Amino acid sequence: MKNILIVQYAQTGQLAEVTRQFCAPLAQAEGITVHHLALQAAEEFPCPWPLLRFLDTFPETDLRLSPHSWSRPPSRRPSCIVG
């Protein structure tokens, strides 16, 4: 049995749907279990972003000072990680 973990963050949920559709053949394959792990930002950001807030947040993101995220990992160790 192979376990595959797909880690993602989607502000609007669109990426989650694309990822599920893209990985559907894997999820349907025999002997493979696909786990989806959706990261949640500690601070939710508005969508769409107001321009000044986006410009204020972008420098921290560029410096890799992103907000802390939390999520619950799957119970089994995955065979590979796709991010």
CA distances from 48 to 11, 39, 67, 77 (A): 10, 19, 18, 36
pLDDT in tens, 9-31: 877 888 888 988 999 999 999 99
Q: What pLDDT shows up at residue 75?
A: 56
Structural tokens at position 8: 């993602």
pLDDT in tens, 27-65: 999 999 999 888 877 777 777 888 888 777 776 666 666
Tally of CB atoms within 10 A around 6: 21
Nearest-CA neighbor of 65 among 34, 36, 43? 43
Q: What pLDDT shows up at residue 21?
A: 92
pTM for the model stands at 0.57
- What values do phi and psi take at 49, rounded to 5? -75, 135
Domain range spanning residue 17?
2-82
Structural tokens at position 51: 């321009």
